[in-house]
Structure 1
Amino acid sequence: MDPEDFFNSRPTGWLGEHWAWALDVPLLEELRRGPLTDRTDLEVGLALTRLLHEDFTAYGTGGGERMNNDSVVVAIKAHRAVLERLGLEPPRLPFRNFSSFYDYWRRQGMSGGGGWAARRECMEGLFGPSRDVLEEIEEAEYEAQFRKSTTGRFKNLIFAAVGPKPKIVLRDAVNNDVEIVENAENCLVFDHQLPPNGLTWSQMVTWWAELHQVPAVGIDSAHQLYARLFASLDSGPEQILFRTYCSRYGHAQGPDTPALIPQVYLHSDPYTRRTPGHTPTLPRQRMDFLLLTPDRSRIVIEVDGIHHYADSQRNASPRLYAEMVAEDRRLRLSGYDIYRFGGHEFTQPDITAKLDTFFDELLLRHKRPGT
């Protein structure tokens, strides 16, 4: 959350060449009564601390503060309430607004030569400790996300196979190196280092451009990558889900949205399935979609057709269902989040709206802490 989020801005002037800042007083009053529904007190408290620090510093130096003498009082009260809910002691300000701050710095000898530097130092002394504590808490919560994340280390993604599926073997059991020994040309392999904030569409486009030695700028590479990923989807519901996600986030939300990666191989079990008398040990070799989000979550999205719960005669199969939920449990214990859609949902007229709402809420939940 940024300090600007506490304002409503609007263009002013004959040609709209200037912007006027108006503090969102109802929002600040709501914060005095209790936490917001879509923001944590931690991120609100940090943004409010920065706002007060910046505006009082601006008022005491070159000007350019965004609040006025009355609205800054509301911000101070909201700031105090938020920090108290967090169990922190709010700064003890020896003034209540800009006017009394002016009187204060004159009494304290912070006028004349060196006054600006003295007033900056004063603001750092008042708001800096709260900011530092909040940033430490934020970083601790961010690191806690990592400790609760998936087991194992990301090495590569094998995905988007078109045609015969790849045959994968473990080439080096010590280093956990895998090799595709057959049909490698039918799939894609992302082997770049995974960035700390997940895997975004822009990073995928950069990888694609390097792979094919084409420019990463512009839209051609992005369109080529989209077409290649879409070609790996052979069911109508999967195509609807992929198209809806990319349409909603590919342009309007910018390139830093997590990439929706289709047909990702979890593992390969090419032998036990063909050996008479052996039960397959790895029921699910491939997930429908994977998101690697900014909070380092690995999110699996599955679109369940009838083959997930019925046999070839379209009769309900308790065995198939049991295999599916057992594999879900294994993945969850490994740290994956799993979300399922039933194929029937994609026959309904409201499916696009339902997908939009789902992805909006999902990405909000899995954003990087503090953003």
Structure 2
Amino acid sequence: MQILSTELRGDQPSPILDDAETADAVRCSDAVLNRLGIRLFLEYRSRAAYKRYATHTNSDSPEGDLDGYRAELASRERSEAIAGYRGVACDVRNLIFAARYKPELIIRDAAQGIVEVVKNKEHCLLSDRPVTSAGLTMAELVDWWGFRDGEYGRPRDDQVDRLRAKLTTQ
């Protein structure tokens, strides 16, 4: 939602998305939220439409319009962080990989399966996302890397190349 808000305002020096791509982002957000049972009712569907809407309503930011959706998503994330991983019920809770040096771990909460890397953390990758029953796919790994690395605006091929380079240098 933050990316969508930033892109709708279009006030950054070099936007990541053009108007058509911003409209696609709104449609994608709408589809994802609908799958979660959250209905997205925005008065605008593109950056240009948002500009017209903001002028008409004297709104200077889409933040307020998106706050309700952010709150609902945060609530779902909190509930899934507890129920979705199922820690000791044999689902993956901690995924630590590509370690150059063996990470040293401590158990923070044995009942919940929460561990913390206390040594050599900089020499390994730690996934903070739940692994579905289908397992970890390369697409999910690249998505995770793009957001972790802060490079979600880069072309997909660049993200894959940067992840591959990180995995081979670890």
- What TM-score range do you get, normalising by the shorter chain? 0.5 to 0.7
Q: Distance in 1 between matches of 2:42 and 2:51?
A: 13
2:123 to 249, 255, 268: 255
Whose radius of gyration is greater, 1 or 2?
1
Q: State the match for 1:67 in structure 2.
A: 17
Query: Counting strand residues as a fraction of each chain, which structure ranks higher?
Result: 1
Counterpart amino acid of residue 194 in structure 1: R
Q: State the match for 2:44 in structure 1.
A: 95
Task: Give the 5 Å matches for 1:147-158.
Answer: 148-150=86-88
Q: Which 5+ residue runs of structure 1 have no aligned equivalent?
A: 1-48, 111-117, 152-189, 207-253, 259-292, 297-357
Q: Which 5+ residue runs of structure 2 have no aligned equivalent?
A: 90-103, 149-170
Shift of 1:55: 1.1
CA contact (8 A) 2:33 2:39 kept: yes
Secondary structure of 1:66's aligned partner: coil
Structure scoring higher RCO (CA < 8 A, sep ≥ 6) equals 2
Secondary structure of 2:87's aligned partner: coil
Q: State the match for 2:74 in structure 1.
A: 135
Q: Distance in 2 between matches of 1:62 and 1:82?
A: 26
CA contact (8 A) 2:107 2:116 kept: no
Counterpart amino acid of residue 16 in structure 2: R
CA contact (8 A) 1:142 1:295 kept: no
Are the structure 2 counterparts of residues 56 and 150 from structure 1 closer, same or farther at C-alpha, using a change threshold of 3 Å?
same
Are the structure 2 counterparts of residues 50 and 294 from structure 1 closer, same or farther at C-alpha, using a change threshold of 3 Å?
closer
Are the structure 2 counterparts of residues 89 and 193 from structure 1 closer, same or farther at C-alpha, using a change threshold of 3 Å?
same
Counterpart check, 1:204 vs 2:156: no
Secondary structure of 2:4's aligned partner: helix
Q: How many residues align?
A: 121
Q: Percent identity?
A: 16
Q: State the match for 1:266 in structure 2.
A: none
Deviations 1:190-212 (A, max 9, x none): 79563886344xx2348xxxxxx
Q: State the match for 1:119 in structure 2.
A: 60
Q: Distance in 1 between matches of 2:129 and 2:54?
A: 43
